[in-house]
Amino acid sequence: MHLIRDVLDKKMVDREHCDMGRVCGLVMHVGESSQPRITHILIGGPTVWMRLHPALGRLSTRLAGMWGPRREGAVKIPWSRVETIGRDVKLDVEARDTGALDWEIWIAKHIIERIPGGGSEEAE
Amino acid sequence: MKKILQITLGIVTSIGGFLEIGSVMTAAQAGAEFGYQLLWALLLGTLCLIFLVEMSGRLAAVSRHTVVDAMRERFGFPFFFIVLVGIVLVAFMVLVAELGGIAYGMQILTGIGFPWWAIPISLTVWLLMWKGSFSLIENGASLLGLVTISFMVAAIRLRPEWSSVGSAMLPSMPHGDKARYGFLAVSILGASISPYLMYFYSSGAIEEKWDRTYLPINRFIAGFGMTFGGVLSMAVLIVAALALRPQGIQLDTFPQAALMLTTALPKYGFYFFALSMVFACFGAALEISLAIAYFFAQGFGWNWSQNLKPSKNARFAFVYTLIILLAGIPLVLGIDPIKVTMMSMALTSATLPIAIVPFLFLMNDPIFLGKHRNGWISNSVVAIVIVISFVLALISIPLEIAGA
């Protein structure tokens, strides 16, 4: 597997095939005696903006702390949760429990549901 | 039977959805100022569009990726971000122009000034996006857009000299203002090869769950639909050349354009023009708003589907709500939609390389397309047209700005 080509920037779906965003970054553990291994997938604004410029990453973190769901740090998914890598990266998780949908839920609750006809984010 | 119906509907919607303020105004100005001489640019633009639309449908049907999905995956976020900024800025300008086109159409029909229409029109476009399904937006608006066939009727009734029309399909040097000629050629190419069409078309293919069995349908729709659409644009240019040029009208203002159809259709031409602008620009405004929302949602991996309730894809719905709201503001302030149209069409040409070159790489990538990769003919046609439009844009846009 080629990590940059086959994993980075691929779309992730949870066990119910709900879109969870794209793989924004990967955390690698490099031990002194063991082989390097991927430990986590990173999701979210600060990680992806950091790839453009570290200052943008810091700005994104600061803005996220002031407005929105106010999550501290990037969303991390353990690599052990990766089920398959094909067209999408399929994860054995519930998207809502990971924090990957925090912004989706926040915008739905604070903006979209308040407009008539917007529906309810929690309705089946 | 179902597929025959889909082909028919696809072709009909391509015809009804082809014309919008950009294609009408660029073709009309070209006809009014240079007669048939710029027909070659329409031919070239339509040819390139046929290939691009076919490619984006093929990519979706074979790889189950939209153009934006594939671009983000293949080129990564930093490159995707550059494309996002360029495409979204230009598409936003085009959206302002389309809303302006509807507003001007309403001004012609009612006599109420166009800035007053900006808010009701933006609200109507947004409401249809908020409540409507993908097929309602694609098919409904395009079927209403079939009123633009009145340009074809007018062109035939004006009895053009077909041999002159035929010889204008080959480029020739202008006798008059060369910079203006180049700028109009660039604007026509920009209006024909609008990248947002590719994003909209490939997203539609995914929304309608296309697979490889749809490849022949895709070829038919791209080939026939876009050809008929291109012929409609040519009809606009021919009508302008025969109805406006002899009177020395150069289309500086929108009400002048409304006179186009009155020579051929004296009784109803005025209303046909106004209705054509309202319906054609309405369809285009819906498509562009959706295309921008698709671009963000697919690029960042959010939930997206025009067939879901807004709260089920909140970020997607938020993007189109915000974009439509922002696009109404310049019109309320009274910005001239004709100037925005001409500049946005020329800028579309200038930004074509960042939209089309990575797309060509994708279309030659065996990971995405396997044996359905591009052949040398499609690669060459698209590459040549993109180079021509980019070079022309680089030369003529500064000259046009300096001239203005």
> Tens of pLDDT along B25-42?
999 999 999 999 999 999
A90 φ/ψ angles, rounded to the nearest 5 degrees? -95, 130
Nearest to B312 among A4, A21, A121 (CB): A121
CA B241 – CA B256 distance, rounded (Å): 14
Rounded to a whole number, what is the distance in Å from the CA of B304 to chain A's nearest CA?
Answer: 9
Nearest to A104 among B78, B80, B315 (CB): B315
Angle at B253 between CA B251 and CA B254, to 5 degrees: 95
B171 φ/ψ angles, rounded to the nearest 5 degrees? -60, 145
B162 pLDDT band, cuts 50/70/90, is very high
Higher pLDDT: B14 or B218? It is B218
- pLDDT per position as a tens digit, A2-41: 888 889 999 999 999 999 999 999 999 998 888 889 999 9
A chain contacts of residue B315, beta-carbon cutoff 8 Å: 103-104, 107
Cβ <8 Å between A21 and B301: yes
Asked whether residue B21 carries a pLDDT value surpassing 70, the answer given is: yes
B chain contacts of residue A112, beta-carbon cutoff 8 Å: 310-311, 314, 317-318
Nearest to B310 among A19, A22, A119 (CB): A119
Nearest to B78 among A52, A107, A112 (CB): A52
Taking the Cβ of residue B209 and every Cβ of chain A, the question of whether any pair is shorter than 8 Å is answered with: no
B277 φ/ψ angles, rounded to the nearest 5 degrees? -65, -45
Domains of chain B: 2-403 (1.20.1740.10)
Mutate to test the interface with B, among A4, A9, A56, A115 (most CBs of B within 10 A): A9
B135 pLDDT band, cuts 50/70/90, is confident
In Å, what is the CA distance from B200 to each residue of A4, A53, B60, B132, B285? 28, 31, 11, 16, 12
Nearest to B318 among A11, A105, A107 (CB): A107
Taking the Cβ of residue B64 and every Cβ of chain A, the question of whether any pair is shorter than 8 Å is answered with: yes
B1 pLDDT band, cuts 50/70/90, is low
Domain ranges of chain A: 3-114
What are A116-119's contacts with CB under 8 Å, separation 24+?
A117/B130, A117/B131, A117/B310, A118/B130, A118/B309, A118/B310, A118/B311, A118/B317, A119/B309, A119/B310, A119/B311, A119/B312
**pLDDT value at residue B216:** 93
Cβ <8 Å between A112 and B311: yes
Highest mean pLDDT, choosing among A30-34, B8-12, B133-137, B379-383 = B379-383
Residue of A nearest to B305 (CA): A19
- pLDDT per position as a tens digit, B317-375: 999 999 999 999 999 998 988 889 888 888 888 888 888 899 999 999 999 999 999 99
Cβ <8 Å between B303 and A52: no
Residue B375, amino acid: G
Average of per-residue pLDDT across B282-310: 91
Judge if ipTM > 0.85: yes
Taking the Cβ of residue B311 and every Cβ of chain A, the question of whether any pair is shorter than 8 Å is answered with: yes
Rounded to a whole number, what is the distance in Å from the CA of B312 to chain A's nearest CA?
Answer: 6
CA B288 – CA B335 distance, rounded (Å): 19
Q: Which two tokens stand for residue A30?
A: 């490099």
CATH superfamily of A3-114: PRC-barrel domain (2.30.30.240)
In Å, what is the CA distance from B250 to each residue of A88, B114, B238, B266? 53, 21, 14, 20
Asked whether residue B205 carries a pLDDT value surpassing 60, the answer given is: yes
Average of per-residue pLDDT across B168-183: 86
B97 pLDDT band, cuts 50/70/90, is very high
Length of chain A in residues, anyone?
Answer: 124
